Amino acid sequence: MASSDPDSRLLLLMRHGKADAAADSDHDRPLHDKGRAQARMIGEYLESQGVRPSRVLVSDALRTRETWQSVLETMPGFDGRVTFHEDIYHGGPAEVLALIGGRKPKHHVVMVIGHEPTMSTLSSFLADDDSSDPSSVAQARIGLPTGAMSVLTGRQDDWSEVREASMTLHTIVRS
């Protein structure tokens, strides 16, 4: 789906790339080299699909910020808006959904980079079982591996209309 499609919302929910185990705190865990490679692959996938998020919401944890930086490396000329949120790190699906719901309607493509189990729980919660890919829904219910991204679309006029079973989960991209 091209980011220029005015009739749809495209939501990308990504779990951060693989992080190092050792750090002073969980919040300060950096990405492992494998995590940087996973994030670059997601960026390459988005570029190959012609998808550019205009709004990116990133957890304020070190590993998610570094995941975004690695995705960004593959998107020359990116001109969207990026913000970092403690709510994505400390909150759950309801907090992330509230952040998404507050986005302006002009942003047709929104990307969230966060943590488990929030990313998979939210993917599963938003997916309409009748229109979604069954294997992707099953994977979301199990959990997203590091560096994976759910791709959901919906026909909402505004992000505030996104709610349970209101989107189609097309695929989970694994890196």
Going from N- to C-terminal start, the domains of the chain cover 10-155
Q: Taking residues 123-146, report their average pLDDT.
A: 98
In this structure, are strands 149-154 and 168-173 parallel, antiparallel, or unpaired?
A: antiparallel
25: exposed, middle or buried (Cβ count in 10 Å: 0-12, 13-18, 19+) = exposed
Q: What percent of the chain clears pLDDT 90, i.e. is strictly above it?
A: 92
Give the span between the Cα atoms of 152 and 1, in whole angstroms. 10
All residues at 6 or more sequence positions from 171 whose CB lies less than 8 Å from its CB, including other chains: 133, 136, 150, 151
Under CATH, which architecture does the 10-155 domain have? 3-Layer(aba) Sandwich (3.40)
Q: 54 pLDDT band (50/70/90 cuts)?
A: very high
pLDDT, one tens digit per residue, over 98-130 is 999 999 999 999 999 999 999 999 999 999 999
Asked if residues 159 and 103 have their Cβ atoms less than 8 Å apart, the reply is yes
Total-model pTM = 0.95
SS3 call for 144:
coil
